[in-house]
Structure 1
Amino acid sequence: MLYSKRLASLMMLDSIIVLTSIYICRFILMPNESVFSPMIMISSLTLLLSHHLLAHVYKLYKRVWRYSSVGELISILKAVTMSILITALVQYAINHDVYYRAMVITWMMHIILLGGLRFSWRVYQDQTMAMVDYSTKKRTLIIGGGAAGAMVARQLKHNPKAELHPVAFVDDDPLKNKLEVMQLPVLGGRERIEEVVRELNISNIIIAIPSLNKRELTEIMKECSKTTAKTQIVPMLEDLLSGKVSVSEFRNIQVEDLLGREPVELDSEAISLYLKGNTILVTGAGGSIGSEICRQVTNFNPARMILLGHGENSIYNIEMELKSSNLHHIEYITEIADVQDREKIFKLIEKHKPNVVFHAAAHKHVPLMERNPEEAIKNNVIGTKNVAEAADKHGVDTFIMISSDKAVNPTSVMGASKRIAEMIVQDISRESKTTFAAVRFGNVLGSRGSVIPLFKAQLQKGGPITVTHPDMVRYFMTIPEASRLVLQAGALAKGGEIFVLDMGEPVKIVDLAKNLIRLSGFTEEEIGIEFTGIRPGEKLFEELLNENEIAEQIYSKIYVGKATLNPTIVIDKLIDEFKELSLLQLHQEIMDIAHNRLRQETRNEMAVVQ
């Protein structure tokens, strides 16, 4: 109803403008000619009809003229010019002559009146906005004077309900320095952020560069952190392009934005070859990595997905999430099972006959496994052995195990158990038709029990944030990136490999804590950082490959290492006897096997077997 009224009003106004243009021209050029002469009547009718037709073609009646710009002016120019040409053709067809001067003057009057009417509405709106009381709004600096920055400025200036009032830009492009964007000055590059915030009394900063990489964002944040202004960022470029969010939906910068490395581009075609149309089984499907693997796999259109996990709530949650966004009509099947239950694991894999298994089920907490080494054996070692042997027996095509950088030169039970699990997978791979491989990660941002959720919980309680050691460093990657690496490993695997991602530079945990405090709007004096000392099993730094593992780059930023094997008789003996060992003995046995330290009695047993 409102659209119909608006359309009728615009068509009436345009009709008045068209007729006014013609008759002003007539009075200028032909003051003595009758208003109702046949040629003037035919020309008026032709121009009126052709204008309305072309106005619909160029969508002049569908434009929001409050935001009119050069694009709208070009559309007016096209519509008017075409309607004048049509009228001139009609004149020639009837009279074998064209009133050229009359057509030119009418064309000029037509554009002036049509454009003036529409752009006057924008001027009126701008003047109305100029009367808004900006003293109650937050003075805002926009970083980035490109297309996104201009859109942000326009949105904020034209929205009377916006809390932010843009006052200036900062942009590293020297050609924009001292110029204006959206009538706002560009006051220099990022090195002037602190000075501009202080001089203009800025309370908010918007980073309006959607394509910014992590390194550049970190550098800009270093400058912003020197101020007390609240810093936000426009959404990611892919979200803007997909239409999920608008450029004015700012979000707070998360510490995850400043960490990790630039994501690896996937070979989607190769991944699709082994996932599309197949049955995929994910163990630990309710965990941080397992659930994200499920999400990533759905992008490659498998026929079925088997979600296997021990915790019913987490499996239920990922099942509901996947089913609610099931765009590819994938069949989801949930199985509640413990990977330690060998009989059930074998039955499930025989029942569902998966083509691909992603083994993400594991215990991963270092201090907990130090105190409970038998649980590390049961879940990480025996659980992996059960799933891998079931995959081998029932003809699974590809088996990918999730490992850890803590498996390299392990100093913890958790790391040692993951290294032993790698040995099991590599050993089975030597004789199996199934393609087995393992993928090593650094620390995964935001996963359960990881450092960032812990720090955030401590912040909510008012601090202090606890860090084990001032020199503690770790590699970081995001959960989606870790999961994508798993998929890529499946496409690259030929059997027995350990895949490792080039994760960039390691990050100091204390710097991570400082960034999180600052991004949360606090100072170190308000929250504080407390050093608690290195926990049992922890290392100051992690490694991705040890000196005996050959690292070869086989894909962009992805490496493969051939780790040394340990005779399976040693692992089998540990599995048979671990319940009889004391915690101290068990701890020592696990570490010895992971480091390939064989005792004399074991060597004798091996000699007998041989």
Structure 2
Amino acid sequence: MKERAFSEIWKLSPNVGDANCYQELVKYTRQIIEIYKDQGRLDVDPLESARKRVLRLPKEQLEKELKGAICLVSGGLGCIGSSLIKELLEFDVQEIVVIDKVEFQGVPWDDRIRYYQCDVLDRVFVAEIFSKHQPHIVFHTAAQRNPGLAEKQISESVTTNVFGTLRMVRAAENTASVRKFVFCSTGKASRYFTEEVYAATKKMCEYILDVQSRNSKIVYSMARFTHVVDNSLMDLELRDSVMQGKHVRIHSPGKFVTAQNAREASYLLLNSLLYGSKGRCNFLIVKNLEWPVESLELALYHISMSDKEIPIVFSGNPIGYTEKFFRGQMDWSKPAELNLLINVYENRIRRLNEAEDIIVSNIVKCSKSVLNWALDNLRSATTKEEVKANLMAGLKGIVTETLSEADKRDTVNILNWGLDKKILAAEKATASDYGAIIPMLFQSLENTSYYPQVEHLLEMSHYQKH
């Protein structure tokens, strides 16, 4: 019954403006709500547990780290940046220097805060701020974070995320006082390879920090975030749609997101100060993310709570949200420890914090020469089409190198888990749905003793050895 309702909604969605179609959509939406309720769902907000979850914060250790420290926070007026600042003020910091390209309204709520309206791309102004305040700790949270917008504003997103991060790193390196640098990344960077602009920029930044960390006096670290409920574009759009009372548009059924809250994100950043390692850029993620939330269930919950007769409409997946989840992303040798924010290679070297609620790991290394080639190639682009093409080419070059260095036994497992015939059939998927990563994984095993172990997968993958 549910599948039939989904099918009918897909057919009717383009004509939601027609009165008869609208009523049919309301009918099928009501049917799906009843099905979900019969399954014991929609009684509570699906994001409620993520809103309340709390990580441990080792305050005594952090107080030693932060006492008398001058902290600089880029993007400090954003959701995560402002949450971080509130937490920093709980410690005996000397000063918090906030830079954001958005104009600050009002008066800082604490006399330890210094605010500058400054874009991280403004090399001269950024350098002046670093020189004037001599920060000890830098938290880089500024970014263009909207995946859909990143596909439309490709050049701007690449410039802000990649070269803005590079500019902050260089400013820190040129300032003798800086001892630690913490970066905000995304769980999307755990993908082996991605053709989505936002995820690709963040993945490129992770390589920048890891390469920089190897020969630096500064300890670099980062936190990978997932869907932050306090700043959720999806949840906000769903709530607004319900309030307007017309219809609620979602991409498609079967789309899931993991979630966390802003305070949890700021705690990850603070813990990053304690779990950084000189010579490697460690990343931190929440260990117990719980089961992912379906966007459809969230939409149905808001409709159900409103008591309005509002239909669901399927719009299809827009650019920036089209990549299909690759099952080989996760380490199925330990099903009880599955986590969407860490891939198989990274999972092999994972360790836990003292409270065992945070996972700490590293990315697979790339060389400085390959990274510099990718960045130079990206700088040479003049049109948005060239920017995206060069971003993907550069990332592909980096990932090809990292796969050659990765444990081949892991690569064999990744291909076997990701291209399992039964799973592909159940999901109505093919290897081509996962893009360029499949041939890249095969190529990394060519001319090795491990290649025969994956040859049986070649036919279904449509990959031909060259």
TM over 0.5, yes or no?
yes
The alpha carbon displacement at 1:517 in A equals: 2.3
Q: Deviations over 1:395-440 (max 9, x none)?
A: 3111100001121223411111001111111111111111101110
The alpha carbon displacement at 1:374 in A equals: 1.4
Please give the alpha-carbon distance, in whole angstroms, between the structure 1 residues aligned to 2:399 and 2:261.
37
Q: Aligned ranges for residues 358-377 of structure 1 at < 5 Å? A: 358-377=139-158
Match of 1:562 in 2: 362
Q: Aligned ranges for residues 209-248 of structure 1 at < 5 Å? A: none
Instruction: Indicate yes or no: 2:66 matched with 1:275.
Output: yes
Match of 2:391 in 1: 590
SS at match of 2:319: coil
Match of 2:446 in 1: none
Q: Deviations over 1:485-526 (max 9, x none)?
A: 11111122124111121222211111111222233x325xx1
Match of 1:257 in 2: 48
Instruction: Indicate yes or no: 2:75 matched with 1:284.
Output: yes
CA contact (8 A) 1:279 1:303 kept: yes
The alpha carbon displacement at 1:391 in A equals: 1.1
**TM-score relative to the length of structure 1:** 0.52
Q: Deviations over 1:201-232 (max 9, x none)?
A: xxxxxxxxxxxxxxxxxxx9997967xxxxxx
Gap change, CA 1:553 and 1:517, over 3 Å in 2: farther
The alpha carbon displacement at 1:586 in A equals: 2.4
Q: Aligned ranges for residues 81-96 of structure 1 at < 5 Å? A: none
Higher RCO (C-alpha under 8 Å, 6+ residues apart): 2
The alpha carbon displacement at 1:273 in A equals: 1.7
Please give the alpha-carbon distance, in whole angstroms, between the structure 2 residues aligned to 1:560 and 1:225.
34
CA contact (8 A) 2:375 2:394 kept: no
Aligned counterpart in structure 1 of residue 115 of structure 2, from 334, 343, 347: 334
Instruction: Indicate yes or no: 2:293 matched with 1:507.
Output: yes
Match of 1:432 in 2: 216
Match of 2:341 in 1: 544
CA contact (8 A) 1:280 1:356 kept: yes
Please give the alpha-carbon distance, in whole angstroms, between the structure 2 residues aligned to 1:567 and 1:581.
26
Match of 1:517 in 2: 303
Amino acid corresponding to residue 501 of structure 1 in structure 2? V
Match of 2:230 in 1: 446
Match of 1:61 in 2: none
Instruction: Indicate yes or no: 2:134 matched with 1:353.
Output: yes
Match of 2:197 in 1: 413
The alpha carbon displacement at 1:597 in A equals: 4.9
RMSD: 2.7
Gap change, CA 1:570 and 1:347, over 3 Å in 2: farther
Amino acid corresponding to residue 96 of structure 2 in structure 1? M
Aligned counterpart in structure 1 of residue 351 of structure 2, from 553, 559, 568: 553
Structure 2: which 5+ residue stretches go unaligned? 1-36, 327-339, 402-466
The alpha carbon displacement at 1:383 in A equals: 0.7
Amino acid corresponding to residue 152 of structure 2 in structure 1? R
Gap change, CA 1:509 and 1:382, over 3 Å in 2: same
Specify the structure having the higher radius of gyration (Cα). Answer: 1
CA contact (8 A) 2:374 2:397 kept: no
Gap change, CA 1:457 and 1:394, over 3 Å in 2: same
State the identity as a percent: 23
Gap change, CA 1:569 and 1:316, over 3 Å in 2: farther
The alpha carbon displacement at 1:567 in A equals: 3.2
SS at match of 2:350: strand
Match of 1:527 in 2: 310
**TM-score relative to the length of structure 2:** 0.68
Amino acid corresponding to residue 283 of structure 2 in structure 1? I
Q: Deviations over 1:148-173 (max 9, x none)?
A: xxxxxxxxxxxxxxxxxxxxxxxxxx
Please give the alpha-carbon distance, in whole angstroms, between the structure 2 residues aligned to 1:224 and 1:443.
21
Instruction: Indicate yes or no: 2:132 matched with 1:308.
Output: no
Match of 2:172 in 1: 391
Please give the alpha-carbon distance, in whole angstroms, between the structure 2 residues aligned to 1:338 and 1:481.
26
Q: Deviations over 1:506-564 (max 9, x none)?
A: 11111111222233x325xx122111111113235593122222441321221122112
CA contact (8 A) 1:384 1:421 kept: yes
The alpha carbon displacement at 1:579 in A equals: 5.1
CA contact (8 A) 1:472 1:540 kept: no
Please give the alpha-carbon distance, in whole angstroms, between the structure 2 residues aligned to 1:559 and 1:548.
14
Gap change, CA 1:257 and 1:599, over 3 Å in 2: closer
Q: How many residues align?
A: 342
The alpha carbon displacement at 1:378 in A equals: 1.0
Gap change, CA 1:286 and 1:280, over 3 Å in 2: same
Q: Aligned ranges for residues 135-150 of structure 1 at < 5 Å? A: none
Amino acid corresponding to residue 552 of structure 1 in structure 2? R
Q: Deviations over 1:215-259 (max 9, x none)?
A: xxxxx9997967xxxxxxxxxxxxxxxxxxxxxxxxxx8664244
Gap change, CA 1:599 and 1:562, over 3 Å in 2: closer
